[in-house]
Every structure is written in C-alpha cells, then in structure tokens.
Amino acid sequence: MSLKSGSDIRLKKETGFLQVDFNSGIAPAISAFSDDGWTVLAANAGALQEDIYCLWQDTIDVSGVQMADLSMVNQGTGVVRRGVHTQALLFENLNIIDMHVVSLVPLNLTAAQWVSMSLGFDSGVPLTDDRLLMVNIASFKRGQQDSSFTFSQNDGAVYGSASTFSNTRLHVYRYVAMYRVAYITSSPGPGPTPAPFAGTGIMTAPNTSIAQLCRLEEFNDVATAYAIYRGNELQQSFDN
C-alpha cells in the first residue's frame, strides 16, 4: 500500500454469518452455527411477537496513515452481501433489518438506540452525519402468504457525510434485528385472530463485506482540529 498524498487506499472488513434459533415461548437466541463476534442486545418472546437484536463490531486500524502525517478523504463506502437472508420451518410473518455502520467515533448504544437509529428516529445521542462514513440499512420480509425459503428486500436507506478526517481507527458495526410476528387467521370464529406460533425454526443473515475507499492528502489541520473538537465535545464516544 502506497502511503503518499494523492494515493487511493481501499479498506475492507468482513462481517460474520448469523443464525438465530426461534422456539415458541422462548426468547430467540444466537445459534452455535453463527460466526464469532455476535452478541445479543435484547431478545423477547411474547404471545404475538418474538424478536432479537444482535450486534457485531470491530475496528479497522489506520494508524499508519496518521503516522505518515496524512489525512484521508472519503471516496465512498459499500456493502456486499455474500449470500441471501433465509428462514426454515417458520410460517409466520417474518422481518429482518440489517444495518451496517462505519463511524469515526465509537458508538456505545443501547438496544433501543440501535432500533431508533435503524428506523430513522432520534436515538437520543448527539450523533451527526459528519461523524459517520456510512450507514447502510436494508429491510427484508417474508409474509404469511409466501412459502419462500428466502426473504425479499422491501426497503432501505443509505447516509453518512464524513469527508476529510485523520483517525487511528475506524469503527465498524453490523446490527441485525429479526422479528417473528403471529400470522392472522379468520378461523375459528368471526374476524381476524392471531394464531399461536407453530413450533421451532431459524432465520439467517449472510456474511458481508464492507469496503471503504479513501484518497490520501497532506495532513489537513482544519479537519483534524475539528475532529479533536468533536471528539472532546462527545467525550470520544456515545456512552450511555
């Protein structure tokens, strides 16, 4: 890798495969078949909905760029899914929200704050787009009338506006929320009625790759001073 002004560098991070086990009446749990690095933020088992919120996190070391007295200019970030989102033996309405985040500062968010961030709501922290290189959100669903093994993507969002920066590391997160919602039947009796969950099954989210492209330039005093100011203002992270 050439560390000189005007060069482009491509940073890459692989995220792990996730499988979640669903068992009626028991909170969903991460399967042993999942890759390492996944943690459960929260999991719930109700009469009409079962859900789980999972987080994977890592960092990308870019200290060599700072040591070379260079700044980085964001040239774009992308996410590649290395497979499809699947389910097995689940017959209800299913949803998966899969969000990737590349941040200049660490994000120590609660489960509720990750949910708010994925839905576009105020997460209650002073998080601005200029601290984020990328937020990539994809929503997948499988309805009760669909017997498909895989999910269809039904929504998505991409944002983040960090430009010139000088950091020792980038913070990478992948947040996955899975929902199993009771299907509706009109039998027995009149009107729609939620049906009880039918047995056990799984949902999966594939491995993904995150690629960050940056252009190197001479050390930018203004951008670095702003980054230090923002870091001090936010105490270097969003602790709760």
- Secondary structure of 38-105 in HEC code, one letter for each residue: EEEEEEEECCCEEEEEEEEEEEEECHHHHHCCEEEEEEEEEEEECCCCEEECCCCEEEEEEEEEEECC
Q: 217 falls in which pLDDT band (50, 70, 90)?
A: confident
79-104 core/surface letters (b: 16 or more CB in 10 A; e: else): bebeeebbbeebbbbbbbbbbbbbbb
* The pLDDT value given to residue 222: 52
pLDDT digits (tens, 9 = 90+) for 178-214: 999 988 776 666 667 788 888 899 999 999 999 999 8
* The pLDDT value given to residue 236: 45
* The pLDDT value given to residue 69: 73
> How far is the C-alpha of 218 from the C-alpha of 170, rounded, in Å?
19
Q: Give the burial class of 226: count Cβ atoms within 10 A of its Cβ; 0-12 exposed, 13-18 middle, 19 or more buried.
A: middle
Handedness of CA 104, 109, 112, 113 (dihedral sign): negative
* The pLDDT value given to residue 190: 65
224 pLDDT higher than 60: no
* The pLDDT value given to residue 16: 97
235 pLDDT higher than 50: no
Comparing CA positions, the residue from 96, 84, 83 lying closest to residue 20 is: 96
pLDDT digits (tens, 9 = 90+) for 30-55: 999 999 999 999 999 998 999 999 99
Task: Provide mean pLDDT across the span 85-109.
Answer: 94
Q: 228 falls in which pLDDT band (50, 70, 90)?
A: very low
* The pLDDT value given to residue 100: 97
Task: Provide mean pLDDT across the span 153-180.
Answer: 90
